[in-house]
C-alpha cells in the first residue's frame, strides 16, 4: 500500500513500519530459540482476510485523497490485529515465566502501538481525512 499512497508522511510511515516488521522476524526467531522450538511458516486467515479486504477497498478508489484515507484505515486494522495478538502472547508468556520472551514481544507490541498512533496522527492531524472529505 505504500506504493499506492500519495501523502508523503503516510508513505514514510508505512515504509518505516515495514522495515520494523522485517526486523521483528529476527526477534521472533530469538523467541522460538528461547522456547527450544523450530519456527515454521503458517497461514493466518485473519490477517489474510484483512489484507484481502484492503486490496478490494483500495482497488475501488480512484481519488488519491480518498485512497490515502482508505490506506490509513486498512493499515490501522492490521495494527489492531497485531496489537491484540502480541498482547495475548505477552500475557501467556508472563504466565509461563518466560521473561526473555515477554521483553522481546513487548518491543513488538510497542512498535505496533507506535505505528497505529502514527497512522492516527496522519489521518487526524496531518490532513489525510480532511482532504478525503473535501
Ligand atoms: Fe504492524
What pLDDT sits at residue 1? 82
* Angle CA 131–67–119, to nearest 5: 75
Residue 1 Cα, ligand 1 centroid: separation in angstroms? 13
How many domains does the chain contain in total?
1
Residue 72 Cα, ligand 1 centroid: separation in angstroms? 12
117 lies in which domain range?
8-133
Evaluate if residue 36 carries a pLDDT over 90: yes
Residue 112 Cα, ligand 1 centroid: separation in angstroms? 5
Evaluate if residue 100 carries a pLDDT over 90: yes
Closest listed residue to residue 77, CA positions, set 45, 43, 51, 114: 51
* CATH number of the CATH domain containing 18: 1.20.1260.10
Check: pTM over 0.85? Answer yes or no.
yes
Evaluate if residue 116 carries a pLDDT over 90: yes
In a domain, 52, yes or no: yes
Amino acid at each position: 500500500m505504500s506504493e499506492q499512497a500519495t501523502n508523503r508522511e503516510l508513505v514514510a510511515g508505512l515504509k518505516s513500519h515495514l522495515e520494523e516488521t522485517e526486523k521483528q522476524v529476527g526477534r521472533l526467531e530469538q523467541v522460538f530459540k528461547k522456547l527450544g522450538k523450530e519456527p515454521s511458516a503458517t497461514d493466518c486467515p485473519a490477517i489474510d482476510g484483512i489484507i484481502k479486504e484492503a486490496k478490494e477497498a483500495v482497488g475501488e478508489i480512484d481519488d488519491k485523497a480518498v485512497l490515502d484515507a482508505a490506506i490509513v484505515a486498512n493499515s490501522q486494522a492490521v495494527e489492531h490485529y497485531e496489537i491484540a495478538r502480541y498482547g495475548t502472547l505477552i500475557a501467556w508468556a508472563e504466565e509461563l515465566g518466560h521473561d526473555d520472551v515477554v521483553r522481546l514481544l513487548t518491543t513488538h507490541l510497542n512498535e505496533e502501538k507506535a505505528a497505529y498512533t502514527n497512522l492516527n496522527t496522519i489521518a487526524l492531524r496531518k490532513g489525510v481525512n480532511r482532504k478525503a472529505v473535501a
